Structures are given as structure tokens and as C-alpha cells.
Copies of this chain bind each other. A is one copy, B any other.
Amino acid sequence: MSTMQEVAKKAGVSKATVSRVLSGKGYVSEATKEQVFKAIEEAGYRPNLLARNLATNKSECIGLVVTNTLYHGSYFSEILSQAAKKLEDNGRQLILVDGKHSAREEREAIQFLLDLRCDAVIIYPRFLTIDEMDSIIEQHKTPIMVVNRKLRKHQSHCVFCDHKGSSFQATKYLIERGHRDIAFITGAIDSPTAIERLAGYKEALNQYGIGVNEALIAQGKWTPASGVSAVESLLANKNKISAILASNDEMAVGAMKKLNDLGVSIPGEISIIGFDNIPTAAYLSPALTSIKDPVSDMISEVINRLISMLDGGYLSKENVFTSDLLARNSVIDGPYKG
């Protein structure tokens, strides 16, 4: 790869001049400017970003960390397409790196992005704790934003959503339509979101005096296949079930398939609710009710904040949009007629 030095020699000027031409800063005569461009062309020169970023300590790009266990579903596509769209308008590059399967690896991914001198990093955490993230944010000058978690200290650095509340609402919705035997399929049990959704379900049952029957709770792993297994284990116990609340749409789809295969008619006999309201899922079946998770809104909000922090004009209010996001979290009417 040719360097700036070579271009300089070819154009008969110094490195400094080439640099000025490239950056557009400082005075350069039209004549030499032209010569430099010609030399650049001839040499097939391309600037080395490593060197540039090392010298300037910035990079015009924004990093995103997501665990690859999330890569499988449409939920993830939603996150990414939203982020890409927003950033594109802003003229910055989005760099995605893999958070893998542990807090350590998630931290390394963040560090990697930081060491690459990304202007900012967004993290959709899976393993890091609130405290760890609060502390990471403190340790770095680079803006770090967290999606889908409520931080303790740095609330303007996060955007989240009330999963427990939504789950409570969904359960309540079923109860009010006369359901008493409501099964629940959890997400991967080490996921905070999964835990919150389970908690909301339990709280609603208790509040309505129904009580939690552990036999009606099956563990899933967010995937369609795990939804299938969940239904299998649920039915193995010969439980009476009139509705299923699945912790996401993908599992709901799996559950539905299994019931279909077993010849259980849907809708009517069993009502199914999933979360996330992913685009394709909306086309799946009118028998599936879904609750919208405001990912797109969250990502969009996070990037807005980031941009205003980086390009100036940031109002350091805390928690500006949080309540807004919560409000948007609503139950969509399903087909079940109690």
C-alpha cells in the first residue's frame, strides 16, 4: 500500500501538504492541490485509518456490541436495521462486534471498540451487570450507551423498557378474559429480560388471587425449537391449560406449531401471546397475539442522544425518554373471545 510519503514525493511536495489537501484544512494553492490529486490517483493511494485515528484520536464510527446468541432472530435484525438507518443519515459507520457468551467477553468487545477509538459505543447487554456497566461508563471518556437496562447511576446513558410491567399486563389481559390456567414459557433463564417477564406473570397471578402453579411454567431459550419442547413438557404433566404466555414471539411460534401438530385447534381453545411483535411474526397467524417491545424506539433514541452528545447540543437531562418508552409498551388485541 502506498503511503502519504510516496504521494508527496511523486507530487514534489511534503507530507504536510498532502495532508492539508486531504483534510481540506489550511491553505494550499490550486496548482499544488492539483498535482497532489494527480499523484494520489497515480499511486492508488488510500489513507491509513489506523494512523489517522491514532493521530487524531477519533474515528467517525460507532460501535455496537451484541451477543451472538441474539443473532438468530428477527428481533436482532430489527435492532441492527434501525441502528444502521439512523447512523447512515449521520454519516458515520456502524461497527458491530460480537459480545459472545460471558460478561468477560462482553467487556472485551466494548474494550475492543474503545481501543479502535470508536467515537461512541452502544451496548445491548446480555451478561454484564448494572454495576459493571455503571463502572465501565465512569472509567471512560468515550460515550457509552446501554440499551434495554436501567442503570443505577448513569441514567442518561441508558434506555430501557418495563418488561415486568408488560408481562403483568399481558397476564392480566388473559385473566380478564376468563383464563385461569395460564402457562408460561420463559426465555433463557439467565437473561434479565426473561426474569422480568416471568416476575410480571407471577405478580399478576398473585394479585388476582390465582396463585402460581410451577407445573405451568416451562423453560425456553428464546428459540422456536425451545417453544416446541416447552409445550411438550407442559402437556406431559397432563395440566389443564387454556392459554400460553410465551416470553417472545419465536417461542410462541414454536408453541403454536406443536399444538397444531397435536391437533389442538387455535384460536379458541388455547390463546397464545408472545412478546416483541417482530415484523414477520405479524404475518404468521391471526391466532398469535403479540406484545410490542419498543426496540426500534430504544435504539433510535439512543442514537439520537449519542449524536447530540458528539455533535454538540446535548441537554444533559436525565431519563428524558424513559417514561415515553414505557407508555408505548402495549397489549395488542388478540383473537381470543373469552
Alpha-carbon separation in the docked complex, A205 to B211 (Å): 62
Alpha-carbon separation in the docked complex, A115 to B114 (Å): 17
B97 and A97 contact, CB distance less than 8 A: no
A208 interface hit (Cβ, 8 Å):
no
A47 interface hit (Cβ, 8 Å):
yes
- How many copies of this chain are found per oligomer? 2
A254 interface hit (Cβ, 8 Å):
yes
Alpha-carbon separation in the docked complex, A73 to B49 (Å): 32
B54 and A48 contact, CB distance less than 8 A: yes
A249 nearest CB across to chain B (Å):
9
* CB-CB nearest in chain B for A60: B112
A74 interface hit (Cβ, 8 Å):
yes
Knowing A51-B54, A280-B73 touch, does A46 contact B84 (C-beta < 8 A)?
Answer: no
A14 interface hit (Cβ, 8 Å):
no
Which residue in B51, B95, B228, B282 is a CB contact (below 8 Å) of A95? B95
Q: Which residues does chain B contribute within 8 Å of A114, judged by CB atoms?
A: 46
A257 interface hit (Cβ, 8 Å):
yes
A22 nearest CB across to chain B (Å):
13
Segment with Cβ contacts to B, from A75-83, A170-178, A184-192: A75-83
Which residue in B50, B95, B223 is a CB contact (below 8 Å) of A97? B95
Q: Which residues does chain B contribute within 8 Å of A141, judged by CB atoms?
A: 1
A218 nearest CB across to chain B (Å):
17
A279 interface hit (Cβ, 8 Å):
yes
A165 interface hit (Cβ, 8 Å):
no
A284 interface hit (Cβ, 8 Å):
yes
A154 interface hit (Cβ, 8 Å):
no
Alpha-carbon separation in the docked complex, A286 to B262 (Å): 13
A96 interface hit (Cβ, 8 Å):
yes
The 10 closest A-B pairs by CB, nearest first: A49-B115, A71-B81, A68-B84, A96-B96, A50-B54, A257-B283, A224-B283, A71-B80, A253-B283, A84-B98
27 A–B contact pairs at CB < 8 A?
A47-B115, A49-B115, A50-B115, A51-B54, A54-B54, A68-B80, A68-B81, A68-B84, A68-B88, A71-B77, A72-B77, A72-B78, A72-B81, A72-B279, A73-B77, A88-B98, A88-B100, A93-B97, A93-B109, A94-B96, A95-B97, A96-B97, A116-B116, A224-B279, A257-B283, A260-B286, A280-B280
